[in-house]
């Protein structure tokens, strides 16, 4: 059998990889949150309210406080970063409570989607950096817990565009519901993604200005000024009929006998 010629896409020796082990996962998620300028896509089986160091330069950082990852997500959305989090299991109660406190993370923005079959772990930043491995988005998985408490995790990070494109294609196929049609656990799915209505994803979509009303022409009063709400106004056809010239009433002709009596 003839062998395919070696190319950078086929030769793993040319793929830039970084080994990620145990506590190194904390750097993966911390750098992802700090670097994201365009997009941050995360896939995880479990989703919890993990705590991270506050951003450098913040008051919380000066006080050595740890903040919820939900707060960091809210910051990303505030900067206009496209945030997608795809998860398998039900998020933890503390995480759901953290979301409820932040309007930027409202379910109306549809940045968080669940698929019970999701078990892959991906962190993709701006389409240029990718993590693949075993770690879930939890404190124990991402190395946020101390030695002796964190999970044993392995993974790799890469900037190889072929791997990044392949991973994001797979992610997007699940995110948009293209895998839902042939799914055999659809009956137990809490919200099939192919039937979900996609909501706006920009942070300020809910605050979009309404269409301005046309100005009232000079000399013309508004319904409110005339003492009414404008409801129940006659349609144009009825108005035209009301202003049309009335027809002349028909006169009943007298019979010859009546005309003779009248004479």
Strand duo 39-44 + 122-125: pairing: antiparallel
Averaged pLDDT of the chain: 78
pLDDT exceeds cutoff 60 at 242 = no
Q: Which has the closest alpha carbon to 164: 128, 136, 133?
A: 128
**pLDDT band, very low/low/confident/very high, at 190 (cuts 50, 70, 90):** confident
Domains and CATH numbers, the chain: 16-204 (3.30.870.10)
Residue the block writes with tokens 């979009």: 208
Distance CA 92, CA 203 (A): 24
pLDDT exceeds cutoff 70 at 241 = no
Stated length of the chain = 263
Name the DSSP letter for residue 107: G
CB distance 109 to 205 below 8 Å: yes
pLDDT exceeds cutoff 50 at 216 = no
Which ranges of 109-193 does DSSP label H, i.e. alpha helix?
A: 161-175
Q: pTM for the complete prediction?
A: 0.68
pLDDT exceeds cutoff 90 at 197 = no
Distance CA 64, CA 216 (A): 58
**Range with lowest mean pLDDT among 94-103, 215-224, 245-254:** 215-224
**Range with lowest mean pLDDT among 12-26, 85-99, 248-262:** 248-262
Q: pLDDT tens digits, residue range 60-106?
A: 666 777 889 999 999 999 999 999 999 999 999 999 999 999 999 99
CB distance 86 to 174 below 8 Å: yes
Strand duo 39-44 + 82-87: pairing: parallel
CB distance 77 to 120 below 8 Å: no
Q: Which has the closest alpha carbon to 130: 109, 108, 151, 160?
A: 160
């Amino acid at each position: 059998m003839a062998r395919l010629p070696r190319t950078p896409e086929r030769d793993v020796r040319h793929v830039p990889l970084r080994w990620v082990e145990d506590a190194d996962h904390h750097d993966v998620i911390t750098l992802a949150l700090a670097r994201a300028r365009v997009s941050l896509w995360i896939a995880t089986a479990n989703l919890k309210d993990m705590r991270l160091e506050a951003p450098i330069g913040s008051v919380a950082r000066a006080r050595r406080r740890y903040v919820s990852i939900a707060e960091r997500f809210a910051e990303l959305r505030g900067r206009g970063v496209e945030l997608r989090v795809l998860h398998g299991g039900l998020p933890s109660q503390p995480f759901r409570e953290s979301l409820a406190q932040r309007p930027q993370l409202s379910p109306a923005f549809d940045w968080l989607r669940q698929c019970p079959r999701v078990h892959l772990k991906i962190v993709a930043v701006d389409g240029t950096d990718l993590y693949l491995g075993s770690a879930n988005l939890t404190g124990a998985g991402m190395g946020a817990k101390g030695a002796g408490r964190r999970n044993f995790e392995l993974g790799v990070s890469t900037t190889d565009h072929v791997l990044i494109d392949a991973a994001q294609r797979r992610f997007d196929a699940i995110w948009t519901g293209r895998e839902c049609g042939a799914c055999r656990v659809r009956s137990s799915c809490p919200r099939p993604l192919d039937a979900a209505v996609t909501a706006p994803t920009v942070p300020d979509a809910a605050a979009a200005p309404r269409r301005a009303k046309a100005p009232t022409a000079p000399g013309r009063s508004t319904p409110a000024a005339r003492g009414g709400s404008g409801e129940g106004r006659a349609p144009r056809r009825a108005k035209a009929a009301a202003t049309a010239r009335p027809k002349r009433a028909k006169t009943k002709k007298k019979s010859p006998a009546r005309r003779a009596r009248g004479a």
